[in-house]
Structure 1
C-alpha cells in the first residue's frame, strides 16, 4: 500500500523511507521544494518512491500529498534547541500535527497515523526511569522545542480519544549514519570530540539520556504501523547513559585516550551565549546554545519495555550503536582517529 512520510528529507524521515521501501511499501515522500533529498533513493521504475512537494504548514499541499495514501507517518518537525524565531516551533510542531489531523477528518481515506513525538514530551526523570504512563508536568520547559512537542503530544492523545486512529512513538536521543543535523546530535558531538573542539567531558557525568540508534527507531515505526494500538504511546528509546559514558565507550572503540578534564556546565553555557550572538550576526545556527545546558542539568531516562513487548522492538546497546556510527563518521571524512 502507499504510505506518506512527512519530513522525509530529515535524518529520521529519510531513514524511515528506506525502511518502508525494504518492507515492500510504496512511499510518497513529502518534502519542501528547497529540501536536500540526497539521503533519499532516486525515484525510478525499480524504486516505488515519489516526491511530493509542499510544507507541513501549508494545508493544501499536505492534502494533495495525502491523496491515495492509507497511512501517514508524521515525522516532520523543527528539531533545534534554539531558534532566533521561536514561533517556528509552534507553527511547525503543533500546527503541522493539527493539519495532519484535519486532513484525516476531511479526506476520510487515511486509515492510520503514526505520529513521531519525543521523549521530551514526557518530561524529565531526575533520579528514576519513566515509562509511557508519565505525563509532562508542564510547569516548566527547558526549550521551546520541548514545549511544542509536549503540546502536540497532548493533542495526539486527545485526538485518539475522539476516535482518530493515531499511534504515538517517542524516540530517544537518536544517532546513526545519515544526515548530520540537530536530529543527529550525538554524531555532531562526536565530530566535535574527535576533531579536538570538545577537549573534555560535558559536565560532571550526572546527566542521563536514553540513546537510540536511528535504524532501530525506524524499525519501531514500521512495527507501530503493523502492531501499534490506537491512542497508545511507545517509547522507542535505548540504553540510558551519560555523555561521559558515551565519550569513554567511543575512546575504547577507537583505542584513543579518554578525556581527563570535565568542562563545567557554566563554561558551556557561556559558550552557548556566545554562539547565540554569533548566530544573530551570521545567521548560522549554533551547535551549543544555553537551552542545551538546561537539558544537561536534568535526567531523561526511559524504559522501552512496552515497545519490546508489543512491537517486538529490539534496540541495540550503546556500544553496538557506536561501533556502527564511529567507523561511518571516519569513512565519511568527518572524524580522524
Structure 2
C-alpha cells in the first residue's frame, strides 16, 4: 500500500506523512534537491527526487502508488516572481493529479486552503458552499490556491478522477521550520515583537489536526467534495493575547488603523524589491485584513469525523517547538 506525499519536508506535509505512518502506510515522499530535510527525521519512507515544475518527475514519483496526497505548495504572502508561484501551485497541482491518475491511484487528496473559498468577511462564518468571486482573491498566493483548486476539480469532474479536496485554515504547531506566515506571527508575538494589531480575524488550527483531516478525507471523503479543516475562529487581537498568556507577556493593546500602516507597507515592499528580503507588511496583507477569515468545519465533522483541539494547545505546541529548536528564546 504505497502512498505518495508531496511537500513532506514542509510544515503540513510532514504532519500528514506522520499521520499516515501511524496507520501503517508505506510512504513515498517527493522531495526537491534543495529541500531542507529536517522534518523527515524519524520517518521510515522512500524518498524520491522531483519538482512540481517537472511533470515527468511527478509521473515517476506516482508510479505504483495506491494513494496520492498532494500537500506541496509555495506558501508566501509576498513573492518577487508571482509567475513562479502560479506555475508551482496551479500548474504543479494539475500535473500531480494527472500523474496520480496515470498511475491508477485509487484516491487522490488535494490540499487546498480556506484561502480558495468564498469569504463573508464581516465576522460571519463561511464554509465550502460560500459563493466565490475571483476578484476577491487578494494577492498571488490566494489567487494561486483558488485557481489550483478550480483546475483540479474541473479536471477531476471531466475525467472522473477519484479526487477529494481539503481546505485547511491557519495551521499552527511543531515543525514549522521556515516558518510559515502564520507561524512567524506566533513566534514574533511570543518574542514580544508585535506591540500592535489590525482589526481582523482568522481560524487557528493545530497542524496535527489538519494532518488527521487529510487522512480522514483519504479514508472517508466523498469524491469531488471539499472539506474545511479548521479550529477556532479568533480575532487577531485575541490570538495575540493568547500567545502573550502562554509566554507570560503583556498582550498588545494598540489597534492600528489601516491608513496609518499603508505608507509603511509601501516602503517595505520597495525595500523588499531592492533587497530580495520578504517584507514584514505588504499592501496585500492590509487588503486581506479587511475581511475576517472565519470558517466552519461542520461538514468535515459530520462526514469525516474530524475534530480539532483548542487553539491554546496549538499555540503551546508551536511555542515549545520554536524554543526547542532555537527559533525563540526561552
Which TM class, normalised by the smaller chain length? over 0.9
1:1-337 alignment, distance < 5 Å? 1-41=1-41, 47=44, 49-107=45-103, 109-127=104-122, 128-162=124-158, 163-181=160-178, 184-200=180-196, 202-203=197-198, 205=199, 207-336=200-329
Q: Displacement of 1:38 after TM fit? A: 1.0
Q: Displacement of 1:197 after TM fit? A: 2.9
Counterpart Cα distance in 1 of 2:100 and 2:271: 42
Counterpart Cα distance in 2 of 1:5 and 1:23: 14
Structure 2: give runs of 5+ residues left out of the alignment.
Answer: none
Counterpart Cα distance in 1 of 2:301 and 2:308: 8
- Are 2:65 and 2:105, in contact at CA under 8 Å, matched by a contact in 1? yes
Counterpart Cα distance in 1 of 2:324 and 2:13: 23
Change (3 A) 1:318 1:129: same
The worse-fitting range, judged by mean Cα deviation, of 15-24 and 153-162 is: 153-162
Q: TM-score, normalised by structure 2?
A: 0.93
Q: TM-score, normalised by structure 1?
A: 0.91
Deviations 1:37-84 (A, max 9, x none): 1111256xxx2x011101111011111111111111111111111211
Q: Displacement of 1:144 after TM fit? A: 1.2
The worse-fitting range, judged by mean Cα deviation, of 298-307 and 248-257 is: 248-257
Give SS of 1:130's match. coil
Give SS of 2:38's match. coil
- Are 1:273 and 1:289, in contact at CA under 8 Å, matched by a contact in 2? yes
Aligned CA RMSD, in angstroms, stands at: 1.8
Q: Displacement of 1:94 after TM fit? A: 0.9
Q: Displacement of 1:241 after TM fit? A: 0.6
Deviations 1:115-138 (A, max 9, x none): 001101113222221121123211
Counterpart Cα distance in 2 of 1:321 and 1:106: 38
